[in-house]
């Protein structure tokens, strides 16, 4: 199975890289990669290209805007990252017959 993991540099993403490796090939990306392996939730075209380049059977989104104190000042950015981009991922997964698993801003207490 080919797995596209978004948000590899976060705490959840880092742990998932090791956990998912037993299931197959993991393509792990984050905002620091070079195109097409750069995660950019603000650019739907780049996000679609990333999914297309990876051609995954499973997309795991471990990325989210989780800075609660900043979220109130950046509502559009939060909506784009946590909702609009996830919608793009869902459409891309459906078009390819892939599964999508998303982390919706989980944070430690």
**The pLDDT value given to residue 68:** 80
**The pLDDT value given to residue 70:** 82
Q: Which CATH number fits domain 2-102: 2.60.40.10, 3.20.20.150, 3.40.50.720, 3.40.190.10?
A: 3.40.50.720
CB atoms within 10 A of CB 85: 24
In 3D space, the residue among 104, 89, 90 whose CA is nearest the CA of residue 46 turns out to be 89
CA 6 to centroid of chain Cα atoms: 3
Distance CA(25)–CA(81), nearest Å, equals 25
pTM of the model as a whole? 0.88
Distances (CA, A) of 32 to 1, 2, 39, 40, 92: 25, 21, 8, 9, 22
**The pLDDT value given to residue 17:** 95
**The pLDDT value given to residue 103:** 59
**The pLDDT value given to residue 67:** 81
Each of the 109 residues of the chain gets a pLDDT tens digit; together they read 999 999 999 999 999 999 999 999 999 999 999 988 999 999 999 999 999 999 999 999 999 888 888 888 899 999 999 899 999 999 999 999 999 997 554 443 3
**The pLDDT value given to residue 8:** 95
């Amino acid at each position: 199975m080919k797995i596209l993991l978004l948000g590899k540099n976060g705490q959840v993403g880092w742990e998932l890289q090791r956990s998912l490796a037993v299931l197959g090939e993991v393509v792990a990306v984050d905002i620091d990669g070079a195109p097409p392996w750069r995660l950019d939730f603000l650019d739907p075209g780049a996000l679609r290209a990333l999914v297309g380049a990876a051609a995954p059977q499973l997309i795991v989104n471990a990325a989210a805007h989780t800075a609660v104190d900043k979220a109130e000042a950046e509502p559009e950015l939060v909506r784009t990252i946590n909702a609009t981009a996830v919608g793009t991922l869902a459409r891309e997964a459906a078009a390819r017959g892939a599964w999508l698993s998303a982390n919706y801003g989980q944070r430690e207490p």
